[in-house]
């Protein structure tokens, strides 16, 4: 639920509001007005303008936060703890790593049989030092490494 709410906040579907109640305590609540506005816009768009998807090529869906969390849980073979979820969220929100890059770091860790976020963090930091920021950069680095 935390992940879903966080994604909806990031995407601008909901807002987190705060106000004082009668007992002078601060109460937080979620405002769904942006979600309703987007739904109304979507419903107002004509369906005739939709372009059919190419049946011959599979659609590449971007790696979402939830899919990344699920992928890590599957590879680690256990659910993530709240601290681990915060660590991954920090990679995405504070360090601004792309989810695809975190997924590639997970792949590197699994290939080296190191099922830990600390190992993944070291991979991401190493890539950052070498200015590796995209999937293409990682693949180019692997090609250079395999060449020698």
Please check whether residues 74 and 136 belong to one and the same domain.
yes
Domain interval for residue 99? 65-147
CA 117 to chain centre: 15
At 86 the pLDDT is: 92
Please check whether residues 77 and 31 belong to one and the same domain.
no
Q: Please compute Rg for the chain using Cα positions.
A: 20
Please check whether residues 132 and 93 belong to one and the same domain.
yes
109, with CB counted inside 10 A (0-12, 13-18, 19+), is buried
End-to-end CA distance of the chain: 46
105, part of any domain: yes
Q: How far apart are CA 55 and CA 60, in angstroms?
A: 13
At 116 the pLDDT is: 92
Backbone angles phi, psi at 17, to 5 degrees: -110, 160
Q: Assign residue 32 the CATH number of its domain.
A: 1.10.10.10
**Of 3, 1, 14, nearest to 93 (Cα)?**
3
At 46 the pLDDT is: 67
17, part of any domain: yes
Structure tokens at 131: 């200015």
- In the chain, the number of structural domains is 2
At 60 the pLDDT is: 54
At 142 the pLDDT is: 82
Strand partners, 28: 18
At 55 the pLDDT is: 47
Q: How far apart are CA 128 and CA 97, in angstroms?
A: 9
Please check whether residues 91 and 132 belong to one and the same domain.
yes
Q: How far apart are CA 132 and CA 148, in angstroms?
A: 19
Q: Which residues contact 145 (CB under 8 A, 6 or more apart)?
A: none
55, part of any domain: no
Q: Assign residue 97 the CATH number of its domain.
A: 1.10.10.630
104, part of any domain: yes
Please check whether residues 14 and 86 belong to one and the same domain.
no
Query: pLDDT 10s per residue in the chain (148 long)?
Result: 888 888 888 888 888 888 888 888 888 888 888 888 888 888 877 655 555 554 444 455 667 888 999 999 999 999 989 899 999 999 998 999 999 999 999 999 999 999 999 999 999 999 999 998 888 888 888 888 777 6
Please check whether residues 74 and 142 belong to one and the same domain.
yes
């Amino acid at each position: 639920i935390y992940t879903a709410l966080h994604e909806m906040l990031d995407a601008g579907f909901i807002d987190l509001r705060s106000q004082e109640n009668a007992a002078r305590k601060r109460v937080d609540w979620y405002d769904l007005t942006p979600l309703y506005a987007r739904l109304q816009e979507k419903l107002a768009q004509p369906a005739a303008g939709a372009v059919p998807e190419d049946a011959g090529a599979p659609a590449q869906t971007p790696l979402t936060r939830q899919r990344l969390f699920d992928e890590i849980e599957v590879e680690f073979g256990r659910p993530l703890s709240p601290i681990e979820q915060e660590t991954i969220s920090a990679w995405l929100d504070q360090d601004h790593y792309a989810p695809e890059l975190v997924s590639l770091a997970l792949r590197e860790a699994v290939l080296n049989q190191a099922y830990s976020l600390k190992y993944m963090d070291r991979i991401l930091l190493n890539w950052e030092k070498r200015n590796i920021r995209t999937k293409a950069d990682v693949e180019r680095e692997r090609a250079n490494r395999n060449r020698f």
